[in-house]
Structure 1
Amino acid sequence: MGTVHDLLVQKGRQQTLLFDFDRRVVDVAANFLADEEAGTAFLFSGWAQAALPHKRLPDDAPWQLRTERVTLLVEPGRRTMPSGPPVSVGVPYGSRARLIMLYLQSEALKTNSRSVELGKSLRDWLGKMGITPGGKSIQSIREQAERITRCRISFHLHSAGKEGLIQQHIVDTAMFGETSVYPGEDSAGNESEDSGGATRNTSGFLETVRLSETFFEQLKRHPVPVDDAAIRAINRHSMALDIYCWLAYRLHVLSTDREITWKALHAQFGGGVTRLDHFRTVFVENLNLALAVYPDAKVEVGGRGLTLQPSRPPISPKVKAAALSR
């Protein structure tokens, strides 16, 4: 992907569009290069290995994802009702859920506190991420915030003959606010203005949350730094966000080239895409978007899968240390 970045620097956006590049890749790369607002966000390394679903599941359905190193299980939480049995609120999904999770983890690490303010603070941060905090956008954010707050997650780790299990709620306590109706996202993990099946949430937005102690401790031990400008540029593409975070986690620790098969990639990123040939097309499109915001990433696409090569991290250790010392 170095070529598109070089062309943008040398010739500008309009001239680069004359070459054989996907327009979306050119636009994303140009926006990323033009973004002068520096910033660093953080996520727990487990989320870089196994992520949330891209599209909405039935509200009572759990989400399970198996990869070579991690099995992720996300169980939907339930909300009590004024009358009748409690109802499932569904597992978090899509790009909005990922942005909220990034905010929670980043704020907790930067302040070294499990208590995180949402409300206006979250709206301000999402505005910085390029999400206009109004209308259907804020409605979707409210729904995902509640789903994140009520769900339970399990990371089953298996590597080098060793196994471990981390079971936790992301949040211990929360304060809820107003009511709303929410849209969804499409099957490719991109923002959708009309889900075709919105549901009403009687609990509404959250004002403050307190991360669970277990999740916070795991986050402090295993944080992955990512570039705010990169997140802004691909903020509506949940698969591209997952791929970018995965590359940010994997590439800089490699000492030699590493091949990843299409089968392994499909297991990690292909939730909702059944056929492998269809997945390859969708994955490469989103990979190109991720590489457009990670110019130093060295990745080759081949017939058997990807070849990852040792690369500089998107956030230098010095910048990471500065972000955590504020």
Structure 2
Amino acid sequence: MCKKPTRRLRIAALIDEASQVEREDAYKADSIGYMAPALAQVTLPHKSQGESLYYERTNGKLTLAIRGHKSYGLPFGTIPRVILAWISSEAVRTKSPELFLGRSAAEFSKKLSLHYNGHDLSRLKKQCLALSRAVISIDNKVEKSLRFEDIKIVRSGLIFWEKDADATTSLWENTIALTEDFYTAIASSSVPLDLRVYFALKKSPLAMDIYCWLTYRMFLLQVSRKSRVLIPWEYLKAQFASGYSDDEQGLRDFKKAFLRRLREVLLFYTEAQGHVTDNGKHLALTPCRPHVLPSKKG
């Protein structure tokens, strides 16, 4: 079956959402979100890793590895990305490492701007717990040294969601408490995002990742005052891709998928149009205005 009509419908919907986003500044729309810098550079799995409890991606000298919990597996797909953005944003907004998820899975799904029905409950709960119980390791090779860090996002939690929670509201709030290290990293340095854009792209985990990454890279370009940066396609494939063959055809397939999702991101991040170009062996970035400017408050 031809997928082109579905593709055209998706693009039409994204163009419509982009025009709506453009009408109002992210701050006025109260849609500012945040992401930890390290997690804007590296990615969670796009698809289920089966029985595996280990996942690894590399971005140049930076390597991210995720170790999953034996009961919940590895977090993957759209849901943990949305949860992670909400966790980071809520921690910045409330200035507290203790976060309240609501009294039911349905209430939490509304906080996440996710469509909810009873069938989705199991997936939402499992991905929430998979993300909460995972350990993320980051290795950064600098010259002859190695700097490494293990990140545990959630220190503790209390979840009351049951199988019939679609119709049940708990007497208690479901809560999670962030680890001190993760909360400090978010509170002191985080990448501002427009959550309207992030959620609009949620049908494609790759598009969500590209939006976070491009926003962060443009911020770095502005701070470093570099006029241009060239990123080899092999590096991008190692950073973003999984499931592609390790040959020239696999690289071509990844490049095609990346550029397709990049075009979707640029429907929203219009300031970056013309500043992200394919030079054959490299993706070239030249400085442009960050998609969301840092707040002038405090």
Tell me which interval the TM-score lies in, with the shorter structure as reference length.
0.7 to 0.9
**1:164 aligns to 2:147 (yes or no):** yes
Compute the TM-score of the two structures, normalised by the length of structure 1.
0.75
- 1:15-26 aligned at under 5 Å gives the runs 24-26=10-12
1:312 to 268, 289, 292: 289
CA distance in 1, matches of 2:49, 2:233: 24
Report the alpha carbon displacement of residue 282 of structure 1 after superposing the two structures with TM: 1.1
SS of residue matched to 2:244: coil
Alignment partner, residue 90 of structure 1: 73
Aligned to 1:261: 232
| CA distance in structure 1 between the aligned counterparts of 2:47 and 2:280, rounded to whole angstroms | 28
Matched residue, 2:269: 294
- d(CA) in 2 for partners of 1:226 and 1:121? 27
* 2:25 maps to 1:50: no
TM-score by length of 2: 0.82
Q: Give the corresponding residue for 1:69.
A: 61
Query: Within 5 A, what are the aligned runs for 1:28-39?
Result: 28-35=14-21, 36=24, 37-39=29-31
Contact 1:156/1:165 (<8 A) preserved: yes
Give me the whole-angstrom Cα distance separating, in 2, the residues matched to 1:109 and 1:207. Answer: 19
Q: Are positions 1:251 and 2:229 aligned together?
A: no
How far does residue 221 in structure 1 lie from its aligned partner after superposition?
A: 3.1
Structure 1's unaligned 5+ residue stretches are 1-20, 79-87, 182-205
Q: Deviations over 1:259-297 (max 9, x none)?
A: 111101101111222211111111111111111221111
Contact 2:54 2:67 in 1 (8 A): yes
What's the counterpart of residue 222 of structure 1? Answer: 189
Whether the 8 Å contact between 2:97 and 2:180 is mirrored in structure 1 is: yes
Q: Judge conservation of contact 1:300–1:307 (CA < 8 Å) in 2.
A: yes
Q: CA separation in 1, counterparts of 2:56 and 2:8?
A: 33
Say yes or no: does 1:117 pair with 2:100: yes
Q: Which residue in 2 is equivalent to 1:132?
A: 115
Contact 2:104 2:174 in 1 (8 A): no
Alignment of 1:262-281 (within 5 A): 262-274=233-245, 275-281=250-256
- The answer to whether the 8 Å contact 2:125/2:161 transfers is no
Give me the CA root mean square deviation.
Answer: 2.4
Q: Residues of 2 paired with 1:215 and 1:38: CA distance? A: 24
1:202-231, Cα deviation, whole Å (9 max, x unpaired) = xxxx92100111111222233001002211
Displacement of 1:178 in angstroms is 2.6
Q: Which amino acid aligns with 1:131?
A: L
- SS at 1:296 equivalent: helix
Residues 51-74 of structure 1: CA deviation (Å, up to 9, x unaligned):
100001124421111221321111
Q: Give 2:179's match in structure 1, choosing from 212, 232, 244.
A: 212
Alignment correspondent of 1:197 = none
The one of 108, 120, 124 equivalent to 2:91 is 108
Counting matched residue pairs gives 268
CA deviation after TM superposition for structure 1 residue 177, in Å: 1.7
Q: Percent identity of the aligned residues?
A: 27
Equivalent-residue separation in structure 2 for 1:295 and 1:121 (angstroms): 38
Q: Are 2:35 and 2:192, in contact at CA under 8 Å, matched by a contact in 1?
A: yes
Q: What is the one-letter code of the residue matched to 2:128? A: A
Q: 1:276 to 1:74 in 2, by over 3 A?
A: same
C-alpha deviation, 1:154, in angstroms: 1.0
Q: Aligned partners of 1:166, 1:219: CA distance in 2, in Å?
A: 15
